[in-house]
Amino acid sequence: MSEEKVQQKVKALARKISKDFSGREVLLIGVLKGAFVFMADLARKMTTPVKMDFVRLASYGSKTQASGRIRFTKDLETPIRGKNVLIVEDIIDTGVTLHHLYRRLEARRPRSLKVVALLDKPGRRKVDFQADYVGFQIENHFVVGYGLDWAEKYRNLNGIYVLK
């Protein structure tokens, strides 16, 4: 996917999210490391007030397949009780990691809890999980660029590419 196509989609997502939250403050929670580029661009294009925080979960290591084990390596610094929270994710693959994060954050009793994902691979789903906002649905390919990596490489590419 070209940089231009990605930016057009991010702008459309920001417009939709801003309309849905209509002037209410939103706490964006970026899932590190992959979502940091998407989250930065999304936040700059949103017209509602935003605050930001991050979590870090590990499930891949240096492989191209998820390990199935989820480790939290960074938790939130901001309390979310009573707040409008939007989890910002780069890609939903099996859904296991995001489902785990969603349940963990839901237990903290935010006013609202929604998910935006730039990419979605519904064909790989292992748990029933749907994002509230999705940029692109993609086939079962391992992709890199725009924050997504393979063994910490390729995050800096402007577009999104299939790893061969």
The domain spanning residue 91 has which CATH number?
3.40.50.2020
Catalytic residue flag (residue 75) = no
Check whether 28 has a pLDDT greater than 60. Answer: yes
pTM of the model: 0.91
Question: Which residues 6+ apart lie within 8 Å of 98 measured at CB?
Answer: 31, 87, 89, 92, 115, 117, 129, 131
Q: For 44-68, how does the pLDDT look when each residue is reduced to its tens digit (9 = 90+)?
A: 999 999 999 999 987 654 454 555 5
Which stretch of DSSP H or E encloses residue 26?
Answer: strand 26-32
**64-109 pLDDT tens trace:** 455 557 888 898 999 999 999 999 999 999 899 899 999 999 999 9
Please tell me whether residue 16 adopts helix, strand or coil conformation. Answer: helix
- Our count of domains for the chain comes to 1
- Which residue range is the domain that position 75 belongs to? 3-162
Bridge-based pairing of strands 84-92 and 143-144 is: unpaired
Catalytic residue chosen out of the listed positions 41, 90, 93, 149: 93
Residue 152 DSSP code:
T
